[in-house]
Amino acid sequence: MGMCYVFNGNVAEIVEAKRSGSKKGLRLTLNVEAYENVEGLSDDSGIKVLLDHQDDAQQMQDKAFGARPGAHSTSHALHYEYLTPKHGSCGKTPWKFHIADTTYTHARCMRECEIANMLSSCGCIDSYMKGDYVGPMEECDLATYLDCSIPVYEDGDELSNCSVCLSACKSTDFEFDLSSVTLAYTAFSSLNDQIRDDIQTN
């Protein structure tokens, strides 16, 4: 759980880099105020980054990588597009929760199964399951998340009966490498000065 932001998520207005390389890609400076973390919800402190296709269900819990606070982290990604089925037949299933003309993907099929199991177990959906569905669904509050959602995840029940999901006939995947170095003290001083100026300006 945490604050979430999306960059380049609109499939109708995709921003493309002119060339590859760390100097030509997306560069972010993030202020991680770890002292505001709520104890008990997670043992992690830092940033999770997900590289994914705009027209797919995001899999933050399964495919994201972590970047630690106090470091300069760089990552590069390789993009794969599978034009033929990877394992025999490719899948196409009628949606129960997604809008009828939504493109079939393996991740969306798994998300349908997760939603069905969470609604059956807890009567609500987790925050990461939000999307464009045929009708509104109640998001689990904190008490339900602690009492019901977490036990469901620990038992693996949110993915029960999800083996019917096949790979799509055309699917996209990403492979990435991550490296990091500790930020120099001068970098922290510069960031603190910038934050102080922003606060005074606003």
Separation of alpha carbons 182 and 27, rounded Å: 17
Range of 44's domain?
1-79+172-202
Give the pLDDT score at 190.
65
Domain count, the chain: 2
- Asked if residue 185 and residue 152 are part of one domain, the reply reads no
pLDDT, tens digit (0-9, with 9 covering 90-100), for 38-82: 666 666 777 888 877 777 777 777 778 887 777 777 777 776 666
- Asked if residue 176 and residue 164 are part of one domain, the reply reads no
CATH number at residue 128: 1.10.287.820
Q: 80, 81, 73: which is closest to 26 by C-alpha?
A: 73
Separation of alpha carbons 157 and 119, rounded Å: 12
Separation of alpha carbons 157 and 193, rounded Å: 48
Give the pLDDT score at 11.
73
- Asked if residue 128 and residue 66 are part of one domain, the reply reads no
pLDDT score of 121 more than 80: yes
- Asked if residue 91 and residue 52 are part of one domain, the reply reads no
- Asked if residue 1 and residue 71 are part of one domain, the reply reads yes
Give the pLDDT score at 136.
78
pLDDT, tens digit (0-9, with 9 covering 90-100), for 137-150: 888 998 898 888 88
pTM, whole model, 2 decimals? Answer: 0.62
pLDDT greater at residue 156 or residue 153: 153
- Asked if residue 91 and residue 14 are part of one domain, the reply reads no
- Residue 159: pLDDT band by 50, 70, 90 thresholds? low
pLDDT, tens digit (0-9, with 9 covering 90-100), for 32-43: 777 666 666 666
Separation of alpha carbons 96 and 198, rounded Å: 47
